[in-house]
Amino acid sequence: MTQSVVIQVGQCGNQIGCCFWDLALREHAAVNKKGIYDEAISSFFRNVDTRVVGDGGSISKGKICSLKARAVLIDMEEGVVNEILQGPLREVFDSKQLITDISGSGNNWAVGHKVFGSLYQEQILEKLRKAAEQCDCLQCFFIIHSMGGGTGSGLGTFLLKMLEDEFPEVYRFVTSVCPSGEDDVITSPYNTILAVKELNEHADCVLPIDNQSLFDIISKIDIMVNSGKLGKTVKPRSLVTSSARALKKHQKPFDAMNNIVANLLLNLTSSARFEGSLNMDLNEISMNLVPFPQLHYLVSSLTPLYTLADVNIPPRRLDQMFTDAFSKDHQLIQADPKHNLYLACALMVRGNVQVSDLRRNIERLKPSLQFVSWNQEGWKTSLCSVPPVGHSHSLLALANNTCVKPTFMELRERFMRLYKKKAHLHHYLQVEGMEENCFTEAVSSLSALIQEYNQLDVTKGMPVQDLPRLSIAM
Amino acid sequence: MSIVTVQLGQCGNQVGFEVFDALYSDSYCSQGLCSKKENEAYQASCKERFFSEEENGVLVARSVLVDMEPKVINQTLSKAAQSGRWKYGQHACFCQKQGSGNNWAYGYSCHGPKHEESIMNLIRKEVEKCDSLHGFSIIMSMAGGTGSGLGAFITQNLQDQYPNALKMNQVIWPYGTGEVIVQNYNSILTLSHLYRCSDALLVHENDAIHKICAKMMNIRQISFNNINQVLAHQLGSMFQPTYSAEDSFHYRRNPLGGFRDPALYTTWLKPADAFSMWKTQRAFNKYEKSATLVSNSQFLVKPLDTIVGKAWNMFASKAYVYQYTKFGIEEEDFLDSFSLLEQVIASYCNL
């Protein structure tokens, strides 16, 4: 069994990260009744004997003493991290896992990337090496950040190159929160495009997330919860948005949204952590969903969003779960995969679902989806026996689909509108190491990516032709 | 004459368990529908073939379990131990921490050479426990990374180290529509390599077994457990010993009986030689009468052709190929595999 290390960068990254650790603890507590430190828990947590002074002896077996998250928390302001350290999760983090500053990046990618990057490079490297040493077999880094600001965007992507150089064998999965059209940070298009270039070049896999989509999901749940008929019968802990805090109604404004992302990460890793009849490890995600190295942006959708508690209401048919996964309501970014081209698709199922359920639904949904000619049966599936807390089953769909192209094109649009006027450019150019060609290179990188998707889109709708095979002389 | 089983990867280990369980259940079931002496001979023969015995009489499967990550092996070992009827050897398994990522190249070129010695040692230990080794049954899937890639590598090693022993690969053919996206690549690489070093490839198609579960057994929610159990049942009925009552080491060849239609056979093989039937009085799995058909026919041409076609289409676009070249399997290796399989298809078609 392997381990993963979570690197949460910036305000958004740390807030999501916090929700993730909360949910991860909850999930393992529900599964691990005997309190024995096992391989599943060790994927994200160390077991530490806190009576031992100093580095805190790591214990690899036996009863759980004190669980410490395999995490590195980075922020150039202290507010968020301090809050985490004073909150209910304070025992889960080691003060040695943190890197903070006080001045913040001022929503400036250049400050995050160039200034703080060089300032904290050694420290970050040291913390990462430590975290890696504490792993028996480190398989993956999960980086959580937002793209619109300065720290998460700039410093978060600075990390990627470092990770690639220092730990070339370890996967880099990035969860990136993208700014929406009405972002209140004016320079977010600059920050985002500069970040995307780094993601293009140094990430193995990117899961883009859109605040708008998260918000829509919450609205949908609110309607369900508050509507007369089904209202009070929704199991509170089953909400994809819920956390321990939510139950006490102290939920902070972004908590609900962040919990959705946290659930995404839990479901993504469930088949690697828990047993099932068809396992899927993290290295299989990359292998199956990334046909060409540059095209590594995956659209995710989660179902169900909640579970009904009232047993008198018949459980939603299993098949409904599969249908929902392909509905835009359940996606975590604004995109339209059904009207675009699938390069590959993964269905990661948890709970009491069997292979025949999978097959039946794939057959049923296939006709309405368009797959690229060389991957007509491009499905990767996994069955994990352990469902998420509060559910009997769940489904995470990951799609590599050309529908991300419009999102990239829009980003480029917004960028060009600012750049043409050289608006706010001086804030960036005055940072040492930043020049105009950083911007032009970033746009080129994005344009090249868009072009790749274009070339695939051109093949959409064309009849699939079998290519001539090798002929053998008998 | 003993058979040592090598179970590789998630599929291989899950199926392997069911096979030994089926063999045990059949051997030790009370309704043999034959004489007591016959039953005892049957039991003894099955035991010798597939199990060794510990001092306290506990049966230990003649099997080596291999996987590149621990979850499935752990489950398999505990399932066997919990049954209380038979178990796997304590030190009969080889495990790593990180799987093969559905990558044939990783299984074949990385895990293979790295763990060759350890795995072959385990196999040797198991072989040494046998009075006489008849051969190997290697259980693997084609679609993933460990069963397929490492399985091909190990089979090659077995060919080198045990040239006189029979090597029979139980190859599990994935569902046509995706379990793994790169399953067609993994399949053609596996088949082409096995072709060169295996004595027999016994193919088990998930699609076919699924139909059996759905149509003939009327199972509504079919799980991989169901699939594996049907597979094990088929394998078990083929593997179980067939003896005559007179002489317990005599494989009875019965020249009488059906399947005599010459049209079914190729011209260069006389019906008498092509068809071998082994009979036993003893019932399998409590059925009064049962028959198992193992055939070498053109039946597999269509599925093989389909897989080669899909793999070829994907290869033409070069999709995913970088994942293989990363670990030492070059485009040329793909082309070699394609040529070999096209030849196989052509040979079968020319019959």
Q: What is the pLDDT of residues A364-420, one digit of tens each?
A: 999 999 999 999 888 999 999 999 988 888 999 999 999 999 999 999 999 999 999
| Total count of residues recorded for chain A | 474
B145 vs A contacts (CB less than 8 Å): 287
Q: Are A456 and A372 in contact (CB under 8 A)?
A: yes
Q: Helix B183-197 to helix B331-349 angle, to the nearest 10 degrees?
A: 70
The chain A residue lying nearest B221, using CA atoms, is A356
SS3 of A407, please?
helix
Q: How far apart are CA A92 and CA A78, in angstroms?
A: 18
A1 vs B contacts (CB less than 8 Å): 69-71, 97
What are phi and psi for residue A323, nearest 5 degrees? -60, -45
Residues of chain B below pLDDT 50 = 244-265, 267-274
pLDDT, residue A230, reads 52
CB distance A374–B317 less than 8 Å? Answer: yes
Higher-scoring residue by pLDDT: A226, A123: A123
Query: Chain B contact for A286, CB < 8 A?
Result: yes
Q: Are A1 and B69 in contact (CB under 8 A)?
A: yes
Query: Residue A450, by phi and psi: left (phi above 0), alpha (psi -120 to 50) or beta?
Result: alpha
Q: How far apart are CA A212 and CA A333, in angstroms?
A: 8
Per-range mean pLDDT, top range of A40-49, A212-221, A438-447: A438-447
Residues 6+ apart with CB under 8 A from B220: A356
Query: Chain A contact for B110, CB < 8 A?
Result: no
Q: How far apart are CA B69 and CA A90, in angstroms?
A: 33
Q: Where are the beta strands (DSSP E) in A356-469?
A: 370-371, 379-384, 393-401
**Stretch A190-218: mean pLDDT:** 94
Min distance B340 CA to chain A CA atoms (Å): 9
Q: What is the dihedral of CA A234, A240, A244, A246, to 10 degrees?
A: -70
pLDDT, residue B260, reads 35
What part of A 449-468 touches B (C-beta under 8 Å)? 466-467
Q: Are A333 and A209 in contact (CB under 8 A)?
A: yes
Average pLDDT of chain A?
88
Tracing tokens 């190859």 back to the chain, one arrives at B171
Given a cut of 90, whether residue A57 has pLDDT beyond it is no
Q: Are B48 and B60 in contact (CB under 8 A)?
A: no
Q: In the structure encoding, which two tokens stand for residue A302, read together?
A: 């989660």
Q: Are A34 and A274 in contact (CB under 8 A)?
A: no
Q: State what percent of residues in chain A have pLDDT above 70.
A: 90
Distance set, CA A53 to CA A49, A67, A70, B315 (Å): 9, 16, 19, 57
Query: Chain B contact for A354, CB < 8 A?
Result: yes
CB distance A355–B227 less than 8 Å? Answer: yes
**Stretch A80-87: mean pLDDT:** 88
Q: Helix B112-128 to helix B151-161 angle, to the nearest 10 degrees?
A: 50
Q: In the structure encoding, which two tokens stand for residue A384, read together?
A: 């994990």
Q: Which residues of A76-113 are buried (b: 16+ CB within 10 A; e: fewer)?
A: bbeebbeebbeeebeebbbeebbbbbeebbebbbbbbb
Tell me, letter by letter, the H, E, C secondary structure of chain B.
CEEEEEEEHHHHHHHHHHHHHHHHHHHCCCCCCCCHHHHHHHHHHHHHHHEEECCCCCEEECEEEEECCHHHHHHHHHHHHHHCCEECCCCCEEECCCCCCCCHHHHHHHHHHHHHHHHHHHHHHHHHCCCCEEEEEEEEECCCCHHHHHHHHHHHHHHHHCCCCEEEEEEEECCCCCCCCCHHHHHHHHHHHHHHHCCEEEEEEHHHHHHHHHHHCCCCCCCHHHHHHHHHHHHHHHHCCCCCCCCCCCCCECCCCCCCCHHHCCCCCCHHHHCCCECCCCCCCCCCCCCCCCCCCHHHHHHHHHHHHHHHHHHHCCCCHHHHHCCCCCHHHHHHHHHHHHHHHHHHHCC
What are phi and psi for residue B340, nearest 5 degrees? -60, -45
Q: Judging by beta carbons within 10 Å of its beta carbon (0-12, 13-18, 19+), is residue A186 exposed, middle or buried?
A: exposed
Q: In the structure encoding, which two tokens stand for residue A259, read together?
A: 């919990």
**Stretch A251-275: mean pLDDT:** 87
H/E segment holding residue A151 = none
Q: Are A161 and A130 in contact (CB under 8 A)?
A: no
Q: Provide the CA A41 distance to its chain's centre, in angstroms.
A: 19
pLDDT, residue B245, reads 36
Min distance A106 CA to chain B CA atoms (Å): 40
Residue in A287, A318, A392, A452 to test binding to B, most B beta-carbons within 10 Å: A287
Given a cut of 80, whether residue A5 has pLDDT beyond it is yes
Partners of A351 in beta bridges: A393
Q: Where are the beta strands (DSSP E) in A179-307?
A: 205-210, 299-303
Q: Judging by beta carbons within 10 Å of its beta carbon (0-12, 13-18, 19+), is residue A23 exposed, middle or buried?
A: buried
Q: Quick one: which of B157, B140, B137, B143 has its CA closest to B189?
A: B143
Q: Are A296 and A171 in contact (CB under 8 A)?
A: no
CB distance A278–B179 less than 8 Å? Answer: yes
| Amino acid making up residue A153 | S
Name which of A2, A283, A344 is nearest B181 (Cβ-Cβ): A344
Given a cut of 90, whether residue A58 has pLDDT beyond it is no
Q: How far apart are CA A338 and CA A26, in angstroms?
A: 35
Residues 6+ apart with CB under 8 A from B343: A472, A474
Q: Are A435 and A385 in contact (CB under 8 A)?
A: no
Q: Are B288 and B294 in contact (CB under 8 A)?
A: no
A376 vs B contacts (CB less than 8 Å): 310
Q: Which of A53-67, A332-346, A456-470 has the lowest mean pLDDT?
A: A53-67
Q: How far apart are CA A442 and CA A437, in angstroms?
A: 8
Q: Quick one: which of B165, B175, B111, B100 has its CA closest to B138?
A: B165
Q: Where are the beta strands (DSSP E) in A11-122?
A: 45-48, 66-69, 71-75, 98-100
pLDDT, residue B250, reads 36
Q: Tell whether omega for the bond before A179 is within 30 degrees of 0, i.e. cis.
A: no
Min distance B256 CA to chain A CA atoms (Å): 37
Tracing tokens 């072009």 back to the chain, one arrives at A451
pLDDT tier, A248 (very low <50, low <70, confident <90, very high otherwise): very low
pLDDT, residue A402, reads 95
CB distance A287–B320 less than 8 Å? Answer: yes
Instruction: Give the number of other CB atoms < 10 A from CB of residue A150.
Output: 29
What are phi and psi for residue A467, nearest 5 degrees? -75, 150
Secondary structure (DSSP) of A322-385: HHHHTSGGGBSSS--GGGSEEEEEEEEEEES--HHHHHHHHHHHGGGSEE-GGGTT-EEEEEES
| Amino acid making up residue A199 | L
Q: Provide the CA A209 distance to its chain's centre, in angstroms.
A: 8
**Global ipTM:** 0.88
Q: In the structure encoding, which two tokens stand for residue A110, read together?
A: 């250049």
